[in-house]
Structure 1
Amino acid sequence: MQNPYNSLATPCGSSCGSAISAAANLATVTLGTETDGSILCPSSFNSVVGIKPTNGLTSRAGVVPISLRQDTVGPICRTVSDAAHVLDVIAGIDRNDVATTEASRYIPMGGYAQFLRRDGLRGKQIGIVRALFNITGQTSLTPIYEKHFNTLRKGGAVLVDNLEIPHFDEIYSDRRNTEKAALLNLARFAKDDYVNLVTKNKLDAVVAPLQNVSPLLAISGSPGVVVPAGYDDGVPVGLSFGGLRGWEPRLIEMAYGFEQSTKIRKPPSLKKLKF
């Protein structure tokens, strides 16, 4: 599959078919599945909005399982509004997925579309872990995200900068280790360190470039939303908002507030692609 913005750029995966279809106007709304980054990453690289829900908020019945602790299904759409409305439809109890019963307590009365607020950034406390912005080593992305830090501030958010996650290097360099003991230890580090970071600093979200927050969200079963944030030499980049379990409402508020403040997404020019 090709990235509709640049045929030489990655469309990422694994839900790239959904992201490409939404980006290229081949579908109004689509769904993706995520174990670790498979909604957030293709959404970021194809300039669309992706919501990775709290584990169990949406049914995984019929989905090829990788990790029941991490697998989730979420919307991939062109706008935050479309994604929120789709989430309203797919969130809920399914007797074929026992995790949906416990997670249904997170569904707000009145649904998710009510949180599409233009002033959704106002008063939100947002954390910045600089290490998340240095993973790729792409210095060309720095001006894009520094600009958007100002966007968040202008929207009324309070930024808590230069936060650190203990064991960050272990979490991000060793998560491919296949030894069971190492994986269990890593999962404990990632979940505890991330939850403690958010709670101790009284954050409403952690922002990160592209899909870089996805390992922390995956292991903790937490939600994330990625929104188009611009283009690096024509290749889309996204800004992710990560929260804790059940925090979809506040993430939608922030994502919508950011989207409406920037309105930076543009459709791809398919004439430029080489098939």
Structure 2
Amino acid sequence: MAPGLGDRAAWNADGALGGMPILLKDNIETRDMPTTAGSLALVGNAPGRDAPLVARLRAAGAVILGKTNLSEWANIRSSHSVSGWSAVGGLTRNPHALDRNACGSSSGSGAAVAAGLAPAAIGTETDGSITCPAAVNGIVGFKPTVGLVSRTHIVPISHSQDTAGPMTRTVEDAAIVLSVIAGTDPADAATAEADARKVDYRAALDAQSLKGARIGVARFLTGYSPGTDAVFEARLAALRAAGAELVEITDGPDRAAIGAGEMVVLMTELKADLNTYLASTDPAQVTTRTLADVIAFNRAEPRELALFGQDLFETAEATKGLDDPAYVAARETAQRLAGVEGIDRLLREHRVVALIAPTTGPAWSIDVVNGDHYLGAASQLAAVAGYPHLTVPMGQVQGLPVGMSFIGAKWDDARILSLGHAFEQLTRARVEPGLVRSIEGREGLAAVLARARQEP
């Protein structure tokens, strides 16, 4: 097992990361490796440039160990996808039970860190793509405020919601990585405030930060599974014992309306942003120059559509552009309902500094016939608003990890990390994966199932 980023004695090179090996999701460009987004259409995409966040990692002494598999095109191709699968990388499996899904789209980043292949990886999130795989693989995942980390030279979905973020075994490690990759990028207008907003996130961690903190319990973001809710309730008791003042919040914003607006935004921006990205690649390496070209490529390539289709790509291709009044209205409505009238209102009216909820349920069984069996997640509000969202291991359900989400206001990344760090130090709930073939084969559960089969 590789040492963590916080274990400075284990690394000898100069720099903030001191020779630390770090993995990158395969939608983040590096000068020395192809960047495919998991698609055969981009298998030759090697433009020889580092994304700014990669340049920051290298300058801090990190060693880029390689690229991790992902849900192809960051899980935006089909509404019936198998998370963790791509035509380039195949299927990522959950190291806690190999027949379970690793979630997505940062599937390989989550599974690799959980399995100890590297102490840290970079994932990307549009809605849940860092926090879900982190939670179900039993690690820490942090989606920063949109605009804190550059998105330049990352295969895009949505300029309104996309961000990169750290996936690590501890909150301290996530804070160390974030301190390196955060910062203004002149090529990404969303990051204009990043230099002024960023801090030393590791130095800001306080193991006593839960004491006296008013935290909102987002009851409207529970119910993913009875086992997950039971673990959550036990951790609430621990938070109270640590001195946190928990405030029950039963009613949240209209998530159906947020979701409807979000879909319009994602489909419209996917076409516009992906077309812009593809136009920036080398035409000798990437012959698919538009989303329409990718759709045609997939239709002609049997391996691409072997498991599921591309209905979301086709929906995106039919959108009318960033000047479409329907898109403009949907973006304003979704961001207002999730942000100002959502997270901001809840924090203000209940006088709390953060919201907490289960991140999602435990990993579901891999099903390449029917696709994902997704039980819901806490990611949408922070994703649409562009606010920080941290997941920290909180326990297990039948041997499968589940995470606790900490969600806060825009640019309140340091406080969210500190609260999560205090929770982590209090509970120490992360466990090493067993690489078992199936959770049903675990000793206690196998005995229960065997007895059930013997009954008449």
Tell me if both proteins adopt one fold, taking TM over 0.5 as the criterion: yes
Q: For residue 203 of structure 2, give the secondary structure of its aligned residue in structure 1.
A: helix
Q: Give the drift of 1:65.
A: 1.3
Would you say 1:247 and 2:412 are equivalent positions?
yes
**Distance (Å, rounded) in 2 between the aligned partners of 1:132 and 1:199:** 18
Would you say 1:209 and 2:374 are equivalent positions?
no
Cα distance 1:207–1:172, how it changes in 2: closer, same or farther (>3 A)?
Answer: farther
Q: Give the drift of 1:151.
A: 1.3
Would you say 1:269 and 2:434 are equivalent positions?
yes
Question: For residue 154 of structure 1, what is the aligned residue in structure 2?
Answer: 241
Would you say 1:171 and 2:258 are equivalent positions?
yes
Question: For residue 211 of structure 2, what is the aligned residue in structure 1?
Answer: 122
**Distance (Å, rounded) in 2 between the aligned partners of 1:139 and 1:244:** 29
**Distance (Å, rounded) in 2 between the aligned partners of 1:14 and 1:257:** 28
What pairs up with 1:104-123 in 2 under 5 angstroms?
104-108=195-199, 111-123=200-212
Q: Give the drift of 1:101.
A: 1.9
Q: Give the drift of 1:128.
A: 1.2
Question: For residue 195 of structure 1, what is the aligned residue in structure 2?
Answer: 344
**Distance (Å, rounded) in 1 between the aligned partners of 2:393 and 2:138:** 5
Q: Deviations over 1:202-239 (max 9, x none)?
A: 21110011253311111111001100011111111000
| TM-score in terms of structure 1 length | 0.91
Q: Does the 8 Å CA contact 1:175/1:183 hold for their aligned counterparts?
A: yes
Q: Give the drift of 1:169.
A: 4.5
Letter of the aligned partner of 2:144 in structure 1? P
Over the matched positions of the two proteins, sequence identity in percent amounts to 40
What pairs up with 1:18-97 in 2 under 5 angstroms?
18-97=109-188
Cα distance 1:182–1:116, how it changes in 2: closer, same or farther (>3 A)?
Answer: closer
Q: Does the 8 Å CA contact 1:223/1:242 hold for their aligned counterparts?
A: yes
Cα distance 1:172–1:66, how it changes in 2: closer, same or farther (>3 A)?
Answer: closer
Q: Give the drift of 1:104.
A: 2.7
**Distance (Å, rounded) in 2 between the aligned partners of 1:161 and 1:57:** 30
Q: Does the 8 Å CA contact 2:258/2:333 hold for their aligned counterparts?
A: no
Letter of the aligned partner of 1:253 in structure 2? S
Q: 5+ unaligned residues in a row in structure 2: which ranges?
A: 1-91, 268-325, 361-376, 439-456
**What is the alpha-carbon root mean square deviation over aligned residues?**
1.9
Q: 1:223 aligns with which of 388, 399, 405?
A: 388
Q: Deviations over 1:233-265 (max 9, x none)?
A: 111100010001111111111101110111111
Deviates most, 58-67 or 204-213: 204-213
Question: For residue 256 of structure 1, what is the aligned residue in structure 2?
Answer: 421
Count residues with an aligned counterpart.
Answer: 269
Q: Give the drift of 1:34.
A: 0.5
Q: 5+ unaligned residues in a row in structure 1: which ranges?
A: none
| TM-score in terms of structure 2 length | 0.56
Q: Deviations over 1:78-133 (max 9, x none)?
A: 0111111001111112222222222332212xx11012222121121111121200
Q: Does the 8 Å CA contact 2:358/2:404 hold for their aligned counterparts?
A: yes
Q: Does the 8 Å CA contact 1:213/1:242 hold for their aligned counterparts?
A: no
Letter of the aligned partner of 2:359 in structure 1? L
